[in-house]
Amino acid sequence: MGDYLNRIFLSKMALFFFNTAVYWAVVLTFGFGGAGTRSLFRQYTIIYIVMNLSLYSFRNYDLDRFRSLNRMALSVFAGVIVGVMASIPFLLLFFHIRIPKMQMLFVSLVLCAGFFLSHFLFYRFSRFGPQKSRRLVILGDKGRWEDFVGELTEALGKGVEFVSYVDPLQLPRLEPGGGAPPSLVITDYSLFEDDKMRDWLEGKAARGFTVEFAPQLAEDHLDRIPLEVAQAYRHYYEMAFMMAHPAPPQRVFDLVVSTLGLLAAAVISVVIVPAIMIDSGRPIFFTQERVGRDGKPFRIHKFRTMKDRGKAGAAFADDDAKLITSVGAVLRKFRLDELPQLWDVLRGKMSIVGPRPEQPEFVKEYEEKIPFYAYRHRLRPGITGWAQINFGYAGNLEEASRKLEYDLYYVKNRNTLLDIQVLLKTAETILGMRGAK
């Protein structure tokens, strides 16, 4: 175990020094020279410090994140951009001679490439992580937990050497064996409440076994909270969800973005409004009742992209796909139909990032059939969200259950950095023209 931890530490240090070398090589080549060299050096030092803090905040030095190149690229890009933006106030306040804008932009772009290259090289040639020696002993029923453990081992990839299930009621004899001792995974918190089980676990921990809990493994490696895990740790999660509430900084961010966005939308509407009228006539806007924070209904606003359904009641988007107009298809492709929702954000009914607002008929059904569903209403619904970028559209009860697992993860773990990742991924989706249904 000590050797493994040393390798992890050395790998992180190698990444840090490689990234440092890339940064200062770029700066020395393109940044210094001329008047104010000392001032520029101080400014680049501030950018370097703030950027590394940002990269650390986005978990760029967490080796588990290297299992996905797409996720790695997003994390690096977000860390560099946020780091540069966070350093700007310091530069404006404390320096008279400042780094030229184009120079700073160029350095930032090269840094994105440099940081990604270093991470890619590590991913390609040094991928050992917690993987090669990780052995999981699942304390729980195989029939109940096999699907969850299967998804977990798939996410960990080659990092799992073997998985075995044991009956926790029998307190089996387990030996560390060769290599690192296995990890004992507690699938149900009720097991930990038993005195004999707790004493047994403490004894195993003293012999080098790692004791892990299903919720932490799920959230770290699946980025969602599986419903079976939430039910097994019901009291813990219910308390965590009840403590969730909209943060004041998020509301400030919503007000700024919605105000600026509405100004931009007003310009774009000069083209969108006539196009809708020519293509399919009036009305221009589509409104519909949705369920918002604390289960309170509100009316959502969008540009109309479909012909009149001619029927009442809620419906999935797939049910009416044939009614999408020509202009509507384009608007949906680029998410432009959702621009009027910025008005709903401005008036406090929605947020930029949050769970998708659902129709009341579906909410009533889901709350009756899906456990924990009502907790997604602890926050304001969002134009985009963690579930939307990770799962997409849900067209039936089973898919709604899976999508809820991402919503619950967001409700429990919402913070500014997570919101930024959602926005960056949403931008990537829009640029890739993978629009909503």
Q: What pLDDT is stored for residue 130 in this prediction?
A: 42
Q: What pLDDT is stored for residue 4 in this prediction?
A: 47
Q: What pLDDT is stored for residue 1 in this prediction?
A: 38
329-388 tens-digit pLDDT = 999 988 899 999 999 999 999 999 999 999 999 999 999 999 999 999 999 999 999 999
Local confidence band at 128 (pLDDT 50, 70, 90 cut-offs)? very low
Local confidence band at 241 (pLDDT 50, 70, 90 cut-offs)? very high
- Give the Cα separation of 127 and 17 in Å (integer): 18
Provide, rounded to the nearest whole percent, the portion of the chain with pLDDT above 70: 83
Any idea which of 4-13, 109-118, 148-157 has the lowest mean pLDDT? 4-13
In terms of average pLDDT, the best of 178-187, 340-349, 424-433 is: 340-349
Local confidence band at 60 (pLDDT 50, 70, 90 cut-offs)? confident
pLDDT at 291 over 90: yes
- Average pLDDT across the chain, whole number: 83
**396 compared with 435, residue with greater pLDDT:** 396
375-389 tens-digit pLDDT = 999 999 999 999 998
Q: What pLDDT is stored for residue 300 in this prediction?
A: 96
pLDDT at 27 over 50: yes
Residue 261's Cβ-side half-sphere holds a number of Cα atoms within 13 Å equal to 19
What pTM does this model have?
0.75
CA 320, distance to chain mean position in Å, is: 30
Torsion sign over Cα 220, 222, 223, 227: negative
Average pLDDT over residues 24-41: 76
**320 compared with 115, residue with greater pLDDT:** 115
**363 compared with 317, residue with greater pLDDT:** 363
